[in-house]
Amino acid sequence: MSDIVDKESGDLFSKYHILISSESDRGAVILAGSILDVTLENLILSFLLPPLKKADKLVSGAYAPLGSFSAKIEMCYRLGFLKAHAVEQLQLFKSIRNDFAHRITDAQLDSEQNRSKMQGILNKNPELEEAFWESINKAFQDNGIVRDNKNLISLIGVRYSFDVLFSSLCMFLDRLSQDVERVDVNNL
């Protein structure tokens, strides 16, 4: 896999972060869900042979088997692109997105339920949580703030946490799709 800590990764992270950081909480969550959906689709399509016909009925259309966010998550796992913890992280993102999509007036990113889901996303990947800490450690030390893994989301802010978690995951998926080798029918 490509090096995750390089200029290209940083550029991808910035691209995704800029896309959602100026949105309202609702706009950011809904947009993030859409971007994750498309990113997963691109990952799958980077591996599969192109369709014989122009329309790709596998991912688009009313009865597309891979038309839903859940189906794309599952297919990426089944193809070996995602580890179980990444699937769980994406399912937590999906749950936050669903909360905002279906609760028209009272969905809040800083609700205890959504805070817990974001903390769950961090807990599923200790390396991501450590990267969070490394990026903010100096500022915390300068201000006398003690590291507390259970309150990381509260310490750095719910919205900032969401934006960084989303941008990190999209950067990872985007880099992964660049490294996938398309299936070769000549070797079947």
Question: Which two structure tokens, joined as six digits, stand for 120?
Answer: 């769950």
188 falls within a domain: no
CATH number of 147's domain: 1.20.120
**φ and ψ at residue 24, rounded to 5 degrees:** -65, 170
State the average pLDDT for the chain. Answer: 86
* Whether the Cβ atoms of residue 88 and residue 95 lie closer than 8 Å to each other: no
Q: Which domain holds residue 129?
A: 7-183
Predicted TM-score (pTM) of this structure: 0.84
- Alpha carbon 139 to chain centroid distance? 26
pLDDT in tens, 10-63: 888 899 999 999 999 999 999 999 999 999 999 999 999 988 888 888 998 889
More confident residue, 40 or 125: 40
Asked if residue 33 lies in contact with residue 94, where contact means CB atoms within 8 angstroms, the answer is: yes
pLDDT digits (tens, 9 = 90+) for 84-101: 999 999 999 999 999 998
In a domain, 167, yes or no: yes
What's the token pair of residue 28? 């950011």
Q: What is the pLDDT of residues 161-170, one digit of tens each?
A: 899 889 889 9
- Number of compact structural domains in the chain: 1
Query: What are the tokens at 131?
Result: 């990267």
d(CA 61, CA 15): 29
Domain contains 2: no
